[in-house]
């Protein structure tokens, strides 16, 4: 999560892009993560980046994220 001062400046997008590059270089085949269902910015970024979003069946407030890198 980015502090409010950094919201909307593209830093999250750049950090996620760097993470994806590093993961691919390391041979990681799949990334998993979670985000609060209310965090629309993160969910939009994840979907735009190709992640599959799934509501967590155990929590109405958490969305699971997964991305196949292979």
pLDDT in tens, 7-36: 677 788 899 999 999 999 999 999 999 999
- Name the pTM for this structure: 0.82
Least confident segment among 9-13, 27-31, 54-58, 65-69: 9-13
**CATH code: domain of residue 30:** 3.40.630.30
The Cα 63–Cα 70 span in angstroms is 22
**The pLDDT value given to residue 53:** 98
11-25 helix and 40-48 helix, angle to the nearest 10 degrees: 40
Domain carrying residue 26: 4-68
Is the pLDDT reported for residue 1 higher than 80? no
The number of domains in the chain is 1
- pLDDT category of residue 6 using cuts at 50, 70 and 90: low
**The pLDDT value given to residue 34:** 95
């Amino acid at each position: 999560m980015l502090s409010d001062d950094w919201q909307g400046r593209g830093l999250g997008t750049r950090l996620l892009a760097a993470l994806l590059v590093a993961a691919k270089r390391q041979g990681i085949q799949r990334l998993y993560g979670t985000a609060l269902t209310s965090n629309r910015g993160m969910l939009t970024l994840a979907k735009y980046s190709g992640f599959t979003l799934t509501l967590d069946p155990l929590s109405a407030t958490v969305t699971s994220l997964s991305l196949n890198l292979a």
